[in-house]
Amino acid sequence: MRFQRFLLAGMLTTVLPLCAQNVTAAKPPMGWNSWNHFAGKVTDADVRGAADSLVSTGMRDAGYIYVNIDDTWQGKRDANGVIHSNEKFPNMKALADYVHSKGLKLGIYSSPGPQTCARYEGSEGHEAQDAKTYAEWGIDFLKYDMCSFGPEKEKYQAEHPNDPDAGKNFMIAAYKKMGDALKATGRPIVYSLCQYGVDDVWKWGPSVGASMWRTTDDITDDYGRMALIGFSQDGLARFAGPGHWNDPDMLEVGNGKMTSEEYRMHMTLWSMLASPLLAGNDLTKMSDVDKSILMNKDVIAIDQDALGKGATRLYPSGDFDVWSRPLTGGRVAVAIFNRAWGERHIPFNPADAGFKTGATIRDVWHGQDLGRKNGKFFSTVPKHGVALLILSK
């Protein structure tokens, strides 16, 4: 009896702290999402193809386990209000079973408003019912996109002119309604808020049960847009951590409109920020370079580091930008980004990252140990490229 009590106490001390945080996303979620490449055309076959490719390319084993269907899967509600998928997705439960059989998880998409961004059925007024349907299908991830709720929020604000927070609180309540509904299903479902970072979502996201929240408007497969979004994230790291993450939107690596250096910068910046890593390319047609960028183990390890502390800007210096984040074991990751239109030789001193007596340095993308550096040294960084270093004592 005493032993049993001892065992129970032991179990509780392990389980309780885990329950206190959202264990569905103890680390930034990794996977794939249909939107950036397939947009409104995505079908059941595309999703199965993505699942197959996650396995055959080695991406699943590198950590990419969520297969997320974005907008345009929804059909009509039946007489009881139950949502059904449309003809592009003939059997959602069968699709979930298929994805699960590959050791992967399935994600889906909806809106707190009456319609999604692509004008498909939203969840307003059906939150508990939809959450239950998702759980029955075997869904593991929900992206909840504000879209048509935006005008409702504005209308509500206009009706309450004396309360400057009325619209914000109205929106928070709508996101909480779905967060509570997901929790009530008893199924662990990653809850991903998509409302483009309005009203400082990072301050209230955890209170509605969110595992992650978009901090910006949409990314596109464009260097300028990627850099604008990524480098605007300074100051947000302190709001994220194990269980709840800042999300500067999905990856564009492999979609073809940036150079390899730019995609390397994109992957580095997102990993430095401890962002969710949701690939957005056609996984059935990946070049070896795309694979090497998305599957670099050391870069992924930075993103997934157990401390969960995203990067802050160490200093901007004209054409280049230096960010750092603490890692487990007293190590520090430093990314030296070259935002100039040509190659640059960029100086860096380990003392600037707290290593006053020098540091042992690993160059992550080149997979090289650079030995010990005490004092200023230079990295040669190509146009729109990055030197990613791990410093240790």
The neighbouring-strand residues paired with 33 are 68
CA distances from 393 to 215, 357, 387, 388 (A): 34, 9, 19, 17
324, 361, 320: which is closest to 344 by C-alpha? 320
Of 140 and 247, nearer to ligand GAL (C-beta) is: 247
218 catalytically annotated: yes
* 44-56 helix and 92-101 helix, angle to the nearest 10 degrees: 0
* 127-137 helix and 92-101 helix, angle to the nearest 10 degrees: 50
Measure the CA–CA gap between 381 and 261, rounded to whole angstroms: 10
Quick one: DSSP state of residue 195?
S
Of 64 and 120, nearer to ligand GAL (C-beta) is: 120
Place of tokens 């879209």: 147
Verify binding: residue 302, ligand GAL, rule CB under 6 A. Answer: no
Cβ–Cβ under 8 Å, residues 220 and 260 = no
Measure the CA–CA gap between 322 and 372, rounded to whole angstroms: 20
Of 119 and 313, nearer to ligand GAL (C-beta) is: 119
363 catalytically annotated: no
CB under 6 A: which stretch of 115-123, 183-191, 294-302, 374-382 binds ligand GAL?
Answer: 115-123
Verify binding: residue 147, ligand GAL, rule CB under 6 A. Answer: yes
Measure the CA–CA gap between 391 and 372, rounded to whole angstroms: 9
Q: How many residues bind ligand GAL (CB under 6 A)?
A: 10
Of 71 and 127, nearer to ligand GAL (C-beta) is: 71
Measure the CA–CA gap between 213 and 177, rounded to whole angstroms: 16
Measure the CA–CA gap between 333 and 311, rounded to whole angstroms: 9
* Shortest Å, Cβ 319 to ligand GAL: 31
* Shortest Å, Cβ 250 to ligand GAL: 7
Assign 3-state DSSP to the chain and report helix, strand, coil percentages, each to 5. Answer: 40, 25, 35
* Shortest Å, Cβ 204 to ligand GAL: 19
Of 71 and 305, nearer to ligand GAL (C-beta) is: 71
Measure the CA–CA gap between 188 and 208, rounded to whole angstroms: 15
* Shortest Å, Cβ 144 to ligand GAL: 10
Of 194 and 334, nearer to ligand GAL (C-beta) is: 194
Of 71 and 321, nearer to ligand GAL (C-beta) is: 71
Place of tokens 């042992």: 360
The residue type of 250 is M
Instruction: Provide the pairing of β-strand 332-338 with 320-326.
Output: antiparallel
Verify binding: residue 118, ligand GAL, rule CB under 6 A. Answer: yes
Catalytic residue among 46, 145, 282, 305: 145
CB under 6 A: which stretch of 59-67, 113-121, 284-292, 359-367 binds ligand GAL?
Answer: 113-121
* Shortest Å, Cβ 109 to ligand GAL: 6
Among 136, 218, 222, 261, binds ligand GAL (CB under 6 A): 218
356, 347, 354, 351: which is closest to 377 by C-alpha? 347
Residue nearest to ligand GAL (CB): 117
Verify binding: residue 226, ligand GAL, rule CB under 6 A. Answer: no
Catalytic residue among 218, 234, 298, 319: 218
* Shortest Å, Cβ 147 to ligand GAL: 6
Verify binding: residue 198, ligand GAL, rule CB under 6 A. Answer: no
Measure the CA–CA gap between 192 and 47, rounded to whole angstroms: 19
Verify binding: residue 46, ligand GAL, rule CB under 6 A. Answer: no
The neighbouring-strand residues paired with 338 are 320
Verify binding: residue 364, ligand GAL, rule CB under 6 A. Answer: no
Among 32, 35, 149, 204, binds ligand GAL (CB under 6 A): 35
CB under 6 A: which stretch of 60-68, 114-122, 150-158, 359-367 binds ligand GAL?
Answer: 114-122
Verify binding: residue 70, ligand GAL, rule CB under 6 A. Answer: yes
Binding stretches for ligand GAL (CB under 6 A):
35, 70-71, 116-118, 145, 147, 194, 218
Catalytic residue annotation: 145, 218
